[in-house]
Amino acid sequence: MKIADIYGLPFISVQLVYRGKKLTLKKVLLDTGSASTLLNADVVMDIGMIPEENDVVNTIRGVGGIEYVYTKSLDSIDVDGTVVEDFEIEIGSMDYGLEIDGILGFNFMKQTGAVINLNSMEILLR
């Protein structure tokens, strides 16, 4: 899959399935420095991903500071035909000053054996 250079950062698109509803996210940052995958709450609410009573709430820390997130499990996440089922993600406000649908973190990359080739601007998955 080709990687787009947006804001000087690597972005790809992903497809999610949550409780049978599909959503394609076109601006997902590839971030090897993020332990988990994080989705923008404003974008995923369209398919019913909203905070619920039993959701686990966590605090995450990064370069941008501290953010409160809640955890959900996707039916699946698909990147260029590589599908991971029952995939755990976090959801937060992602108010970073740029338009972003999510962050694809190291948890997904490790599980799929991702190889990021910056010479050809591609991500290869098994």
Domains, the chain, in order of start with CATH, read: 4-124 (2.40.70.10)
Q: What is the pLDDT of residue 40?
A: 96
**Average of per-residue pLDDT across 1-28:** 97
> Is the per-residue pLDDT at 103 higher than 80?
yes
CA distances, 47 to each of 22, 57, 101 (Å): 7, 20, 14
The token duo for 34 is 């993020």
Q: How does residue 96 score in pLDDT terms, banded at 50, 70 and 90?
A: confident
pLDDT classification of 63: cutoffs 50, 70, 90:
low
What pLDDT score does 64 carry?
65
* Stated pTM of the model: 0.91
59 burial via Cβ count (<10 Å: 0-12, 13-18, 19+): exposed
The 10 Å Cβ neighbour count of residue 125 is 17
Instruction: Please state, as a whole number, how many other Cβ atoms lie within 10 Å of the Cβ of residue 120.
Output: 10
